[in-house]
Amino acid sequence: MTRSRRRLTALAAATTLVLTGAASPALAEVPADAPEQIHNGDFSAGTSPWFSYGTGELKVVDGQLCTTVPAGLANPWDAGIGQDAVPLIAGAEYELSFDISATPGTAVTAVLQLGSAPYTTYASVNATATSTVQHVARTFTVPDDNPGAQVIFQVGGSAQAQTVCLDNVSLRGGEPAQPYEPDTGPRVRVNQVGYLPGGPKNATVVTDATDPLPWQLKSASGTVVASGQATPRGVDPASGQNAQTVDFSSFRTPGTGYTLVADGETSHPFDISGTLYDRLRADSLQFFYAQRSGTAIDGNLIGAEYARPAGHLGVAPNQGDTTVPCQQGVCDYSLDVRGGWYDAGDHGKYVVNGGIATYQLLSAFERTKTAETAAGGAALADSTLRVPERGNNVPDVLDEARWELEFLLRMQVPAGKPLAGMAHHKIHDRNWTGLPLAPQDDPQPRELHPPSTAATLNLAAVAAQCARLFAPYDAAFATRCGTAAKTAYAAAKAHPKVYASAADGNGGGAYDDTNVTDEFYWAAVELWLTTGEQAYLTDLTASPLHTADVFDAGGAFGWQSVGALGRLDLATVPNALPAAERARIRASVTAAADRYLATLRGQAYGLPLSGDANSYVWGGNSNIINNAVVLATAFDLTRDAKYRDGAVQSADYLLGRNALNISYVTGWGEHAAQNQHSRIFGHQLDANLPHPPAGSLAGGANSALQDPFVANLLAGCEPMFCYVDDINSYSTNEVAINWNSSLAWLASFLADQRDAAAVPAPTCAVTYTTHGSWPDGFNTQVTVRNTGTSAVNGWNVRWAFTGDQQVSSYWSAKLTQSGATVAATNESWNAKIAPGGEITFGLLGSTGKGPNPNPNLVTLNGKACSLS
């Protein structure tokens, strides 16, 4: 018996109010065995899934849920304590009961209602709470079905500040929750989008059979084109299913409508094509435009159903992001923090999550400078994406990242103010709002929350990245980013332990983080890569993370763990580290990739995530992808196809090869998620609203069941089954910018692999030598040697600078430069390079004060050369 339950038995001397609905005749007593519809009503499991708005922090004190309520709120509903996802059945009888006290005392109204506009009330009870605990109960009949109603205790409206406590909240009645049986479709689970011709092709068969099963691959016409025997895998711990796996990688013929048949089951159809992922790259990036704040969304770009007016610019009913004050007691100024991306399913904007999401978009572009398969970034160039800035001679992915970068810069504390140079942690509504709610219709006041060291270092890191990547396209913006990055880093060093509070979660997520060693390391790395300044190199090499294993098994990196971002960039972005140190750093990436490969090979569903329940967490799909990012990076570094194949195979889980047989990406696959938790894309609740746009990633299976909807629906689920495609499940089915940024990075890599053919050995070698440099320039010579067996007749040599370097003159070749990318083509007299022969050309260049390292990738006619 818990402490709160013991206290209930001692309430004989306390006041008890028993009320019946005034609008209906007296009801029979609800049976004692009626099912309970409230989750954690005795607060023995802490505060989750209860929320509050307009109050102080929710705390469990002596077994009660308690909070403070400020004085002078105009209305009872201006502050409340509530729980969502309460299932109701029309015509059923219910009893709502609770224990309540308040000091010094206040009126309280308990409301059972629709959780979104128009907030229809199904039942309410008024009580006068005093310092003496009283038990309140009411019986009523519910007029409407609602699988996701809301219980709210309205506690505002008192002239005095209050401390309000609740306990033993119960709603008994209706029917027991029916066992949830998801429609998992055929027992043969495949990537429902398809497979690359030369890449891995694996499937999973759910079966009772323990002996190897025969399988057949059939064309769209039903012809058997390949066959073989499956491999028994035993019981998969992540799904609880007995499974066998099928490997049909040796079949490489492109086509559409293939199916896989085994154990009397036929899979969903899929394609084999080298262009499978071209559109996914664009779709996953389109998500960010749809999430933009502070601008009208153009339906001509992404579909008429997604058109909407600008949100949060101060046009009624918005209170706007153009002049946002701080929370009470935080600061004495207001900031213009318009723009940026709405973070997830709510209308909040968070610097730490915006930081990692922006990093991944910038990283997807920066990868094109150093990855052979990226074709110099042509697929991410200007006018390749559906953004309004297309046609401005800036790569579209940088345009999209800039929308968030501008917001991040605006979050910096102004000079002359306390904590100047630091970044405010977040900005969002004062109170939580219901579902659905278009951004332009949000009536809540907006508030700046206190600065934090974590947010400040996120700003420093991505602003430094911005400075080097935008330098060839917009020197003024690059300079602005660079200045902000240095200012932020200095401010963080001056205030290294200003942590965001875990309790600051009313109206938006807390995004708390009390260990910022990783943020300091990441920011120092980005600033050194951009500036080359010794102070940043000293800081990054002194960090304990510089020699630590920074790649976690559960997820290589995330918003709360960013050390791996610094490691990946030191491994891939050209820099002046000694050769032995660079080799060590790169070896740490491949060692992590080897561990993820081993994990992938041990899973019946072939994903780089272990099968224990603790691995399936909130937003776990992004952890899977980020582990795949490490695999993809290892391939870019080594050209070893095993890493590429591991990254490619990881996508199978996301696109249908999983226990639920569902694609977690809207619009991709035969059976795809489409009801992700979002206030903007609320089709499930309002048919006039759209589903999330194609390319939107759901958070994925979460064994902790951290919202009441899935807690009631999926209790006892095996880890991979702890997901439901319902808008009410924010802990398994929300969208978020940092999840879609990981998808965008991986989708870009996948699209670059084309047919995933065998990786040939280099047939050229390049010596890139800077013979002299001065404060604003350099003199470089490039020698290209043909190490193959055939003559080269006509050549194009390509590489990319890291930042603002510009070619000013050249000889023995014709040089052109687009952004940071340089292309050198032959003169008429040196077009041929015989086997064993070589050519040499040179250039003079100008640069700012940043570093000028040798490139990590030089290609000859599109193929990578070895570097010496």
C-alpha pair distances (Å), 836 with each of 244, 280, 765, 839: 51, 42, 10, 11
Marked catalytic residue, from 93, 321, 346, 447: 346
Q: Which pair of tokens denotes residue 765?
A: 């070698």
Marked catalytic residue, from 400, 725, 726, 804: 725
| Residue 372 · residue 439 · CB < 8 Å | no
- Return d(Cα 157, Cα 153) in angstroms, integer: 12
Taking 3-state DSSP, the helix, strand and coil percentages for the chain, each rounded to the nearest 5, stand at: 30, 25, 45
Task: Please state at what angle helix 351-367 crosses helix 278-290, rounded to 10 degrees.
Answer: 150
Torsion of CA 751, 752, 755, 756, to 10 degrees: -120
* Residue 181 among the catalytic residues: no
Q: Order of strands, edge to edge, in the sheet holding 188-189?
A: 188-189, 202-206, 241-247, 231-236
- Return d(Cα 838, Cα 765) in angstroms, integer: 9
* Cβ-Cβ contacts under 8 Å for 631 (sequence gap 6 or more): 593, 596, 597, 608, 643, 644, 646, 647, 650
Amino acid at 730: Y
Marked catalytic residue, from 135, 268, 424, 677: 677
C-alpha pair distances (Å), 369 with each of 573, 583, 806, 850: 9, 19, 15, 17
- Return d(Cα 247, Cα 226) in angstroms, integer: 11
* Residue 183 among the catalytic residues: no
* Residue 725 among the catalytic residues: yes
- Return d(Cα 56, Cα 150) in angstroms, integer: 20
* Residue 441 among the catalytic residues: no
DSSP 532: -
| Separation of CA 858 from chain center | 32
* Cβ-Cβ contacts under 8 Å for 266 (sequence gap 6 or more): 186, 188, 218, 259, 260
Query: How would you classify residue 260: left for phi > 0, otherwise alpha for psi between -120 and 50, otherwise beta?
Result: beta
Marked catalytic residue, from 636, 670, 734, 804: 734
- Return d(Cα 439, Cα 318) in angstroms, integer: 8
Task: Report the DSSP pairing between strands 224-229 and 214-218.
Answer: antiparallel
* Cβ-Cβ contacts under 8 Å for 221 (sequence gap 6 or more): none
Q: Which pair of tokens denotes residue 392?
A: 């401005």
- In a 10 Å sphere around its CB, with 0-12 CB exposed, 13-18 middle and 19+ buried, how is residue 254 labelled? middle
Catalytic residues: 346, 677, 725, 734
